[in-house]
Each structure stands twice: as C-alpha cells, then as structure tokens.
Structure 1
Amino acid sequence: MTKVLFVCLGNICRSPTAHGVFAYQVAEAGLSDCIRVDSAGTSGWHDGGLPDSRSMQQAADHGYDLSFIRSRKVTSADFVEQDYILAMDRENLKNLQKICPQEHAYKLKLFLDFADLPVSEVPDPYYGGNEGFERVLNLVELGGVALLDHLQKTHKYFVSNFY
C-alpha cells in the first residue's frame, strides 16, 4: 500500500481538492487497494470542517465529490506513516520541513514536481474568485495524472483503465 498525503495551509481548498480528485483517479485506475489518499493542513484552523464551499462546488461541477473529506492538521504520525507528503506550494513545503523528522524528509515534495507543467505550485484560491478555484482543479487533475503515472512506474502497479 502506497500512502499519499496532500498538504496545504488550512486543508480546505487545495489539498482536499487534490485528495478528492486523486482518490477518484486512483479508483478509476482500479488501484484503490494499492494507493491510499489523504490530506491535511499545516495549520489546525479548520479542524473537522468541510472543504471550502467554492472548492466543493468546483469539484462537483467536474464530477468529483469532496463531501467525505474533513480538515485536519498534519501530525507527527503522518511523517512516519505516509510515503509521499506533497505540498501545494513552497511555503507549505517550508512549513513541513520545519516539523519533519530528518529521517522522513525524503518524503516531502511539491505536488506539481511530478508534472511537466510551466508552474511548480498550486496557487491558493481562497481570497480570489471562482477562476482561482477552477485553476486549482485543472492543475490538480494534471498533477494527479502525472503522480499516478509516477506511482505506477515506481511501484509497478498495473493500470488497466486509466485515461
């Protein structure tokens, strides 16, 4: 079982979108028994809360359900249990590096490092309009495809019906 954790600041916009979209992509590929997906934030401001309503709406408009996701803060156990801890932006990555035990630092990466895109960060849409949430969803979809391809190649998962 490969465990992937997506991390942003509050775990209400970007990381739950990545969580929901990637979980869908993994299920579509028939790999739900091989890959576990989760999300968290570097802050605990929204612990137990649903994703931002704008993230949920944008996801729903594209066929993804985020209603099963609840916000939570990254824990020390995450650094031990997760195989990939993927930050949405450099600031999230720096915050993770400050609290990650050195022996688990190799697990920390930017999510979009797996994708061949002209951008390396998923921008925070919180203070913007709907176009920011749409951009996040598009980047997450592309990043998810690239990440799944990486996991399939690295862990030799057979992807039968991935698009």
Structure 2
Amino acid sequence: MAMTKILFVCMGNICRSPTAHGVMQAKVTERGLAKRFHIESAGTHAYHVGEKSDPRSRQAAAQRGVDMEFIRAQKISILDYDEYDYILAMDHDNLELVNYYAPQGHQAEVALFLSYANQAGLIDELVVPDPYYGGESGFEQVFDLVDKGCDALLEHILDA
C-alpha cells in the first residue's frame, strides 16, 4: 500500500500544526501504521524556523502522552504541494495563504484540517483557534480539537 503524506499548516508552526503533527504521529504509531504515513507540519510564515514548538503546546501534549520534542518549525515550500497527499490548514486565513501559494496542477488535497471531523459529526468547529496569546486552557482546547480531528482524518484516509 502506498505511503500517505500529510502536512499540517498554521501560521508559525509552533502551536497548532506541530500539535497535529505530534498527535497524528502518535496515533499511527499506536495503531502499527507508522510505515504507511509520513507526517510533517509547517507554517505559512517563517517567524520561528528551526525552533521547537511552544513550550505550552509541548506541555499539553506531554500531559496526554504525546511527544513533540522531535518537531522543529519550518515554512511551507512550493515543493510541498506535489510532495504531500494532504495539506491541511488550521484556520481560514492559513487556508487562504496555502491556496494562494499553490502552483497550478498540484497534487495535494488542500483543506481545513477540522473539516473531516466536522463532516463526520464529531465536532461543530471548522477552525483550530490560535492559542499563542492566551493562557494554558487554550492549549488544552487545541489539543482536544486536534485529537478529534486526527481521529476523523485517519478514519477518512483508512476508509478511502
């Protein structure tokens, strides 16, 4: 079976998209599917390239048993559009930027990350809110949304 490649995208690649990266990696590993998936995350802006994820994101994930220490921020590249099967944005602004930079005829399915969970009736939300300027509870909320989003995305891919 072919490898499925997923790129999660937010603005700076230090809060939301690396959380999705870490959660999805944990889920496919836990299910013995790690060899079938290549998972990455990136930002639409290059503010934090090379940095670890926000400590609050790492802490929220670690409290739930998800490792994010291996993730470093990077910026989305034009090459990603043909490298990945899915490029999934955390909100409408980042989806707009991902679509704006997309070359014509690219291969990736570009969508809002939570659209799969929303369509499956698991959540009402379509957007993962940016917790960067808020408190700890915002990072917990992001983790909860991302966890449900990853479950729905994984089922969508496995059912395809």
Give the TM-score, by structure 2 length.
0.94
Change (3 A) 1:122 1:105: farther
Which aligned pairs between 1:1-163 and structure 2 lie closer than 5 A? 1-104=3-106, 107-115=109-117, 116=121, 117-154=123-160
In the TM superposition, residue 105 of structure 1 has moved relative to its aligned partner by 7.1
Q: Is the contact made by 1:12 and 1:46 (CA closer than 8 Å) also made in structure 2?
A: yes
Alignment root-mean-square deviation, CA: 0.9
The CA deviation string for residues 90-132 of structure 1, in whole angstroms up to 9 with x for no partner, is: 0000011110012127611000011031110000000000110
1: CA distance between counterparts of 2:150 and 2:70?
A: 19
2: CA distance between counterparts of 1:106 and 1:32?
A: 20
Structure 1's consecutive aligned runs of 4 or more residues displaced over 3 angstroms after TM superposition are none
> Aligned residue pairs: how many?
154
Q: Is the contact made by 2:84 and 2:107 (CA closer than 8 Å) also made in structure 1?
A: no
Secondary structure (helix, strand or coil) at the match of 1:63 reads coil
Structure 1, unmatched stretches of 5+, are 155-163
1: CA distance between counterparts of 2:137 and 2:113?
A: 20
2: CA distance between counterparts of 1:7 and 1:133?
A: 17
| Identity score, percent | 51
Q: Which has the higher contact order (CA 8 A, sep 6+)?
A: 1
